[in-house]
Amino acid sequence: MPVYVILTLAIVGEVIATSAIKATEGFTRLGPSMVVFFGYAAAFFFLSKVLDRIPVGVAYAVWAGGGIVLIALIAWIIYGQKPDLAGFIGMGLIVAGVLVLNLLSKTSIH
């Protein structure tokens, strides 16, 4: 399986888990709590699978950056938490940083 597909699965697991945290109500609700547990378990499992092919700094930057942007999008859609201009600029800078790491840095998998 291509390395970025596996990394995408790690991001999806993290986004699902993080999105479900609010619904756990302090981990007092079993269903959402299990979603958080298994989502993070999947995220770390898949993240561990890419570390033999991508440097840890690059993998973590892509994983965290992708998660931040997707969580912000989900928070906007589900909870109406629209980022302000500074938030959009910050997320743009995160995406730009991930692109620089992957397209220009010699530490990437190229």
Q: How far is CA 4 from CA 35, 38, 53, 72, in A?
A: 23, 21, 10, 21
pLDDT in tens, 51-107: 999 888 888 888 998 999 999 999 999 889 999 999 999 999 998 988 888 777 776
Contacts of 95 (CB under 8 A, 6+ apart): 65, 69
Structural domain includes residue 110: no
Structural domain includes residue 26: yes
pLDDT in tens, 27-44: 999 999 999 999 999 999
Structural domain includes residue 86: yes
Structural domain includes residue 108: no
Number of domains in the chain: 1
Q: What is the pLDDT of residue 110?
A: 46
Place of tokens 């109406």: 80
The span from the CA of 46 to the CA of 18, in Å, is 16
Place of tokens 């993240």: 47
Structural domain includes residue 109: no
Domain boundaries, position 67? 3-103
Structural domain includes residue 92: yes
Q: What is the pLDDT of residue 106?
A: 74
